[in-house]
């Protein structure tokens, strides 16, 4: 290599750095020690000088001059080129170590300023296993809402993948806030594993593919009881739903005809409703805890809070509720949400009982644990709330919601086949479950107003006694609730 060639090579490297975007320059400086490149260029310059300068020195060890000149030329070429290749390989590897962790924030800040996040995503993917050493200030930039939104919209789930690592999650100084930012974005973004998980179970977005990678990610996060509690993931779910209800922007649409919202074919309105997605994500999380037989506080009361908030915004308009286009079972989107929450609590209660049952020659249910108790309390709270729903829902809808609870109690009393799937032998240990749900319902109605008393009595009297287990236990339930089948609460 000649001096001119070396200078040309240096000029090309400088030109590459000059035309690179700020994020790329920060990335290059992060992974490639520039002093190595400078030292390589300097060494090549020294070799060229030794070869070409008229020092009048003879080659050492009796080497021939042409061989020495050839060796100096070859080394002067290989050293800078090798340094450049090594630098490119180091940049491609993008390995974060203790030496450059403190400088990551500069790159993240540059990406945020320039609104360019491809390089950030690449680096995070290369290092997601050891990012628990990321400085707190860098982590706060990493979970900036603008950056989270941009990456999620580009179909990158790197932020949720990072949060899925328990070590990284626990290393975050503001982990609840970071989980909040990511969860809110996943609730409103089109590419979202939350939506995929909900739609795969409950429908609403036809032909949506639930990728295995998304399924695995959900199982490590929102459907993992340990992660769900550690991340306090319930909070951004309920807060997002409550905020959407509180601002009232959807009141007009959600008190209208709900056929599009409840549709099972094509794209339904609920598939892009953060209220619905938040509810169902919590339901899936609680269902996972029940399946794993994990007892703890999974904030089941969130469902009853959302239920009451939805009921407050719901308006009974006879023209809508009796419209031939409306579904008489749940005429409006708000009615659909109320119906779904009540049904979810019923299904979760049934799953809790099934999970607590030991199957043998004679089945036996273990006493209800913390999760079952919270389910009974939340479901009875919803039942009590809808009993006082004058001008919010129709009387028929109100009765159906209350009857759902009463039928569950009657099934616990004498017809477990209404709860268990498939042929069911005699099940021992159901009395504590029946007592729990009956006690919670009575506690809601003991000191309630007259409208609630009338509502539960109307629902009770409208029970279908054509079902044998209903007619058999009708007087028993009336006695437990009212003191006599047709009287007031005792």
The better pLDDT of the pair 68, 431 is held by: 431
113 Cβ neighbours under 8 A, 6+ residues apart: 22
Q: Distance from CA of residue 303 to its chain's centroid?
A: 16
What is the separation, in whole angstroms, between the first and last Cα of the chain?
103
Closest CA to 427 of 316, 353, 487: 353
* Per-residue pLDDT at 489 exceeds 50: no
Cα-Cα-Cα-Cα dihedral of 429, 431, 434, 437, to 10°?
-90
**Tokens describing residue 284:** 């899936």
Q: 176 phi and psi, to 5 degrees?
A: -65, -40
Whole-angstrom distance, CA of residue 350 vs CA of residue 418? 10
Burial 352-380 (b: 16+ CB within 10 A, else e): bbbbbbeeeeebebeebbebbbbbbbbbb
Q: 295 phi and psi, to 5 degrees?
A: -100, 140
The better pLDDT of the pair 42, 189 is held by: 189
* Per-residue pLDDT at 273 exceeds 50: yes
pLDDT, averaged across the chain: 87
Whole-angstrom distance, CA of residue 7 vs CA of residue 2? 9
Whether the CB-CB separation of 409 and 478 falls below 8 Å is answered with no
- Please state, for a pLDDT cut of 90, what percent of the chain lies above it: 52
* Per-residue pLDDT at 131 exceeds 60: yes
**Tokens describing residue 470:** 């209903």
Q: Distance from CA of residue 253 to its chain's centroid?
A: 26
Distances (CA, A) of 148 to 182, 185, 227: 7, 7, 20
- The pLDDT-based confidence of 487 (bands split at 50, 70, 90) is very low
**Tokens describing residue 130:** 């050891």
Rg of the Cα trace of the chain? 33
User: Mean pLDDT across the stretch 296-306?
Assistant: 95
CA pseudo-torsion sign 148, 152, 156, 160: positive
Question: Which tens digit of pLDDT belongs to each residue from 307-360?
Answer: 999 999 999 999 999 888 888 889 999 999 999 999 999 999 999 999 999 887
Question: Which tens digit of pLDDT belongs to each residue from 50-105?
Answer: 777 666 566 666 676 677 677 777 787 787 888 788 888 888 888 888 778 888 88
40 Cβ neighbours under 8 A, 6+ residues apart: 79, 80, 82, 83
Looking at the DSSP bridge assignments, the partners of residue 358 are: 364
10 Cβ neighbours under 8 A, 6+ residues apart: 41, 80
Whole-angstrom distance, CA of residue 98 vs CA of residue 119? 20
Question: Which tens digit of pLDDT belongs to each residue from 370-414?
Answer: 999 999 999 999 999 999 888 899 999 999 999 999 999 999 998
Closest CA to 373 of 432, 431, 314, 418: 432
What confidence score (pLDDT) does residue 11 get? 76
Whether the CB-CB separation of 164 and 217 falls below 8 Å is answered with yes
What confidence score (pLDDT) does residue 230 get? 95
Looking at the DSSP bridge assignments, the partners of residue 428 are: 364
The DSSP symbol for 300 reads: T
Residue 319: Cβ-neighbour burial (10 angstroms; 0-12, 13-18, 19+): exposed
Residue 115: Cβ-neighbour burial (10 angstroms; 0-12, 13-18, 19+): exposed
What confidence score (pLDDT) does residue 329 get? 86
* Per-residue pLDDT at 450 exceeds 90: no
Give the largest Cα separation in the chain, rounded.
122
Residue 403: Cβ-neighbour burial (10 angstroms; 0-12, 13-18, 19+): buried
Residue 280: Cβ-neighbour burial (10 angstroms; 0-12, 13-18, 19+): buried
* Per-residue pLDDT at 276 exceeds 80: yes
Query: Residue 470's CB: how many other CB atoms inside 10 A?
Result: 20
Closest CA to 242 of 339, 313, 298, 192: 313
Whole-angstrom distance, CA of residue 476 vs CA of residue 413? 10
* Per-residue pLDDT at 486 exceeds 60: no
- The helix/strand/coil state of 267 is strand
Question: Which tens digit of pLDDT belongs to each residue from 150-202?
Answer: 999 999 999 999 999 999 999 999 999 999 999 999 999 988 999 999 999 99
Helix extents (H) in 251-328: 251-254, 259-262, 274-291, 301-313, 318-321
Location of structure tokens 């922007």: 249
Sheet containing strand 363-365, edge to edge, reads: 357-358, 363-365, 427-428
């Amino acid at each position: 290599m000649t001096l001119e060639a070396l200078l040309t090579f240096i000029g090309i490297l400088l030109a590459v750095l000059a035309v690179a975007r700020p994020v790329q320059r920060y990335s290059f400086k992060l992974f490639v020690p520039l002093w190595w490149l400078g030292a390589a260029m300097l060494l090549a310059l020294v070799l060229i000088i030794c070869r070409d300068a008229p020092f009048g020195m003879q080659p050492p060890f009796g080497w021939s001059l042409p061989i020495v000149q050839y060796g100096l030329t070859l080394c002067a070429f290989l050293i800078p080129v090798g340094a450049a290749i090594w630098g490119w390989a180091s940049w491609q590897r993008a390995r974060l170590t203790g030496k450059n962790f403190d400088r990551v924030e500069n790159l993240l800040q540059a990406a945020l300023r320039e609104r360019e996040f491809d390089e950030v995503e690449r680096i995070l993917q290369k290092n997601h296993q050891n990012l628990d050493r990321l400085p707190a200030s860098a982590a706060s930039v990493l979970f900036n809402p603008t950056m989270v939104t941009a990456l999620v919209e580009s179909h990158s789930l790197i932020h949720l993948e990072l949060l899925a690592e328990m070590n990284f999650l626990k290393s975050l100084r503001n982990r609840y806030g970071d989980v909040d930012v990511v969860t809110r974005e996943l609730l409103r973004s089109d590419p979202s594993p939350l939506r995929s998980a909900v739609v795969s179970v409950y429908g609403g977005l036809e032909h949506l593919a639930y990728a295995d990678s998304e399924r695995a990610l959900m199982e490590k996060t929102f459907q993992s009881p340990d992660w769900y509690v550690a991340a306090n993931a319930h909070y951004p779910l309920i807060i997002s739903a409550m905020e959407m209800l509180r601002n009232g922007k959807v009141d007009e649409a959600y008190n209208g005809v709900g056929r599009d919202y409840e549709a099972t074919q094509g794209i339904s309105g609920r598939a892009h409703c953060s209220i619905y997605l938040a509810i169902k994500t919590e339901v899936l999380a609680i269902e996972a805890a029940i399946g794993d037989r994990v007892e703890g506080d999974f904030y089941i009361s969130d469902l009853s809070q959302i239920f009451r908030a939805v009921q407050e915004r719901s308006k009974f308009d006879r023209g809508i509720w009796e419209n031939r286009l409306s579904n008489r079972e749940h005429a409006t989107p708000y009615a659909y949400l109320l119906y779904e929450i009540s049904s979810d609590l019923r299904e979760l209660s049934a799953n809790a009982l099934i999970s607590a049952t030991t199957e043998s020659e004679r089945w036996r249910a273990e006493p209800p644990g913390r999760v079952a108790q919270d389910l009974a309390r939340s479901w009875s709270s919803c039942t009590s709330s809808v009993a006082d729903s004058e001008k919010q829902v129709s009387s028929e809808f109100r009765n159906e919601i209350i009857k759902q609870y009463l039928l569950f109690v009657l099934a616990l009393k004498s017809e477990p086949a209404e709860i268990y799937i498939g042929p069911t032998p005699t099940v021992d240990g159901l009395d504590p479950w029946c007592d729990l749900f009956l006690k919670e319902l009575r506690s809601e109605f003991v000191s309630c107003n007259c409208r609630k008393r009338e509502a539960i009595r109307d629902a009770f009297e409208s029970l279908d006694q054509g079902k044998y287990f209903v007619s058999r236990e009708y007087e028993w339930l009336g006695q437990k609730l009212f003191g006599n089948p047709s009287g007031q609460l005792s």
